[in-house]
Amino acid sequence: MAQAERFRKRLIAACVRAQNGRGRVGEDGRPRVDVAIIGAGATGVELSAELRNTAHVLSAYGLHQLDPRRDVHIHVIEAGPRILPALSERVSVETAKLLKKLDVDVLTSERVTEVTPLAVLTASGKHIDADLTVWAAGITAPPVLATLGLPVSRQGQIVVGPTLQSEGDPDIFAFGDCASCPWPEKQTTVPPRAQAAHQQATFLYNALRARLDGRPLPSFAFQDLGSLVSLGHFSAVGSLMGGLIGGSMFIEGLMARVMYTSLYRMHVMALHGAVGMALDTVSHWLRRKTSPRVKLH
Ligand SMILES: Cc1cc2nc3c(=O)[nH]c(=O)nc-3n(C[C@H](O)[C@H](O)[C@H](O)COP(=O)(O)OP(=O)(O)OC[C@H]3O[C@@H](n4cnc5c(N)ncnc54)[C@H](O)[C@@H]3O)c2cc1C
């Protein structure tokens, strides 16, 4: 929260400086603000679209000298050959097209080698101006896991087998983001996602009951239900998978946006029940009507 708050204040300060002619000026003589996001996974991509929206709102709230499209430059820098490397190529291609429409500068096959206070440098020698830089290039597990004497992955996750027992000690189970669990069908490990953590929690509940009853432990099989990437108020893109639709289905636009919002509502319902979810939805709707879209102070 503290980091997000610091980022918000610095973004507004950079835009106000640019508006008042105290910031940097581009070759075209116009004020400019540059934001560099390192990593084009779902986090980096979603942030870039949200920031484009924020720039529009800031402009509407009084920073009239600042043209949100021309003057606020958003760069997404990815080391791999395409954005959203963990998702299907189609989702990646369609998302790249939508980001282009939002004037987000997407750089692929560019490995960041240095971050200075005002720029990001890449291995190919590119120098990208950056008033603000956001690191969104993946996660690592808490360092404490590496001190437990159990085998850990490159990301510092506890290495577990298909029963979610750690490889170092069968009495220690791990699941969710802190576990590196095999995903044999894809010859990789289960991705660090909420849907995986949720499936593993349900699995583990049953597995631990089986163990207490002296029955053999079952094996965990991750079922990828698909992914949705939100592009702010503009759109969403994703793919749905599963037995119901008989494979994988690409979705985008309003339908994907509605599904993204519905997923959030389903999570609220799981936590607070149907009545709680309905009340939360009404309260959210009222707050949206009365609160500013961007907090300015
Ligand atoms: C920006 C962002 C967006 C994401 N969006 C999506 C998405 O759209 N869909 C999706 O499926 N997944 C998404 N994820 C991934 C998803 O949030 C995680 O996979 C999921 O939360 C993993 O659940 P978990 O319980 O393993 O870990 P967490 O949800 O991280 O919970 C671990 C908890 O343990 C606490 N903790 C850590 N160390 C200690 C300690 N030493 N002692 C006590 N407590 C400790 C932490 O504070 C935390 O509350 C996103 C992640 C990020 C960062």
- List pLDDT tens digits, range 117-170: 999 999 999 999 999 999 999 889 999 999 999 999 999 999 999 999 999 999
Better-scored residue on pLDDT, 250 or 271 = 271
Gap between the Cα atoms of 178 and 141, Å rounded: 6
Give the CATH fold of the 143-212 domain.
Answer: FAD/NAD(P)-binding domain (3.50.50)
Name the closest-CA residue to atom 1, ligand 1: 43
Tell me, in angstroms, the distance from the centre of ligand 1 to residue 177's CA: 7
Question: How confident is the prediction for the chain on average, in pLDDT?
Answer: 90
In this prediction the pTM is 0.85
Gap between the Cα atoms of 247 and 242, Å rounded: 6
pLDDT at 4 over 80: yes
Q: Are strands 104-107 and 72-77 parallel, antiparallel or unpaired?
A: parallel
Q: What percent of the chain has pLDDT over 90?
A: 63
pLDDT at 171: 95
Name the closest-CA residue to atom 4, ligand 1: 43
- Choose one of 37, 87, 177 to mutate for the ligand 1 pocket test, by most ligand atoms within 8 angstroms of C-beta: 177
pLDDT at 151: 97
pLDDT at 199: 97
pLDDT at 205: 97
Across 73-86, average pLDDT: 95
pLDDT at 180 over 90: yes
- What is the dotted CATH code of the domain comprising 2-135? 3.50.50.60
Name the closest-CA residue to atom 32, ligand 1: 177
Residues lining ligand 1, Cβ inside 6 A: 43, 142, 144, 176-178, 192-195, 197
**What token pair was written down for 243?**
């037995």
Phi, psi of 174 (to 5 degrees): -145, 145
pLDDT at 175 over 90: yes
Gap between the Cα atoms of 163 and 218, Å rounded: 6
pLDDT at 63: 78
Tell me, in angstroms, the distance from the centre of ligand 1 to residue 166's CA: 20
- Residue 6: count other Cβ atoms within 10 Å of its Cβ: 11
- List pLDDT tens digits, range 87-100: 888 889 989 999 99
Domain boundaries, the chain: 2-135, 143-212
- List pLDDT tens digits, range 181-206: 999 998 999 999 999 999 999 999 99
Across 267-279, average pLDDT: 95
Across 207-214, average pLDDT: 96
pLDDT at 245: 56
pLDDT at 261: 86
DSSP letter string over the chain? -HHHHHHHHHHHHHHHHHHTT-SEE-TTS-EEEEEEEE--SHHHHHHHHHHHHHHHHHHHTT-TTS-TTTTEEEEEE-SSSSSSTTS-HHHHHHHHHHHHHTTEEEE-S--EEEEETTEEEETT--EEE-SEEEE-S-----GGGGGSSS-B-TTSPEEB-TTSBBSS-TT-B--GGGEE-EEGGGTEE--S-HHHHHHHHHHHHHHHHHHHTTPPPP-------EEEEEETTTEEEEEEEETTTTEEEEEEHHHHHHHHHHHHHHHHHHHHHHHHHHHHHHHHHHHHHHS-SS---
pLDDT at 269: 96
**What token pair was written down for 109?**
């096959």
The yes-or-no answer to whether 2-135 and 143-212 have a common fold is yes
- List pLDDT tens digits, range 216-249: 999 999 999 888 888 877 677 877 765 555 567 8
